[in-house]
A and B are shown apart, each in its own frame.
Chain A
Amino acid sequence: MNKRTAPHAEQKTPADYLPLTPAVFHILVALGDGESHGYAIMQDVLARTGGSVRLSAGTLYGAVSRLLGDGLIEESEERPDPEMDDTRRRYYRLSDLGSRVLAAETNRLTALIRSARATKAIRKMRPA
């Protein structure tokens, strides 16, 4: 099993990585259910956002590169189904730090949405 973690990753707390960019957040969410490869991440993001967010190759792998560098994700050599899969695909999974950062960002966004829902403008639009 191959683990690549940035040497300085342990020195930072999850709060230091917030707020996450939309692309990074979507990738971390896609990896939240288990390890995945680039195309599967792209499809997952597309499905979760109802087709409104499409990560192209440059954006996806630029974010993956930063996430690997920050130690939020790791590369895995394990393949869910080696016989059916292309050996050139690389699989990624959340690291412990990545899971904590995802949880922290989810909490931050939840608090933000709760706060937005409490405003008069949103309460006025709620169905009776």
Chain B
Amino acid sequence: MTGEGLFNFLLVLYPRPFRMRFGDEMLRLYRDCYPNSGPFRLWVETLKDIAVSVPREWRREFYRDDSAIDYTGLIDAFMCTVVAGTLLLGWGFMGATFVRHFGPSAGLSFIFATLAIASLVGVLSTFAAARSGRIDTSCSLLITCEKTTARFSR
């Protein structure tokens, strides 16, 4: 990942309305500053600035009258953590049980490690897609779970 890509990624830390309004300009400013400052100095200043300005912008966003904090996203993050944690624990438990019964085997270890990594990548991709807006919030994990439950209980 290039420095510009990393800076673009770090912009995700700012509240969405602030990012939507000033994200492009901040990226443009980073590009303009890059040739004149050394990369080390620029990054030290950038990280210091992010450490101060991110909490400040979140506090402003929280206290704003027309605050647009995406609580669905936060719930998604929580749900993804729960789902990822459960999957990893589940695969780990199954792997341990198989190893106890059949003895240690490189093939089994490989299969369970692959399944665990695939689960983690799947959950993280879903979370990233939801946060970047590629998945509509109406398809968020929690709402999808509710819809699925409702369909089965009908």
| Chain A contact surface mostly | helix
Find residues 1-42 in chain B having any chain A CB closer than 8 Å to their own CB. 14, 18, 21-22, 24-26, 28-30, 32-33
Known: A39-B33, A65-B21. A58 touches B28 (CB 8 A): no
A57/B26 in contact, CB under 8 A: yes
Note all chain A residues with C-beta closer than 8 A to B108: none
Find residues 45-65 in chain B having any chain A CB closer than 8 Å to their own CB. 45-46, 48-50, 52-54, 56-57, 60
Note all chain A residues with C-beta closer than 8 A to B50: 58
B29/A42 in contact, CB under 8 A: yes
* Binary B-proximity of A96-108 (CB < 8 A = 1, otherwise 0): 0000000000000
Number of A-B contacts (CB under 8 A): 57
B29/A38 in contact, CB under 8 A: yes
Find residues 65-91 in chain A having any chain B CB closer than 8 Å to their own CB. 65-66, 86, 88-90
Note all chain A residues with C-beta closer than 8 A to B52: 58-59
Nearest A residue (CB) for B7: A57
B49/A57 in contact, CB under 8 A: yes
Note all chain B residues with C-beta closer than 8 A to A65: 18, 21-22, 57, 60
Other-chain residue from B32, B33, B45, B57 in contact with A62 (beta carbon distance below 8 A)? B57
B49/A38 in contact, CB under 8 A: no
B53/A90 in contact, CB under 8 A: no
CA distance A62 to B46 in the complex (A): 14
Q: Which 5 A-B pairs have the closest CB atoms?
A: A58-B53, A56-B49, A57-B26, A61-B22, A39-B32
Besides the known contacts A38-B25, A39-B29, A61-B25, 16 further A-B residue pairs in the complex with CB atoms under 8 A apart = A42-B29, A56-B48, A56-B49, A57-B26, A57-B46, A58-B14, A58-B53, A59-B52, A59-B53, A62-B56, A62-B60, A65-B18, A65-B21, A88-B28, A89-B28, A90-B25
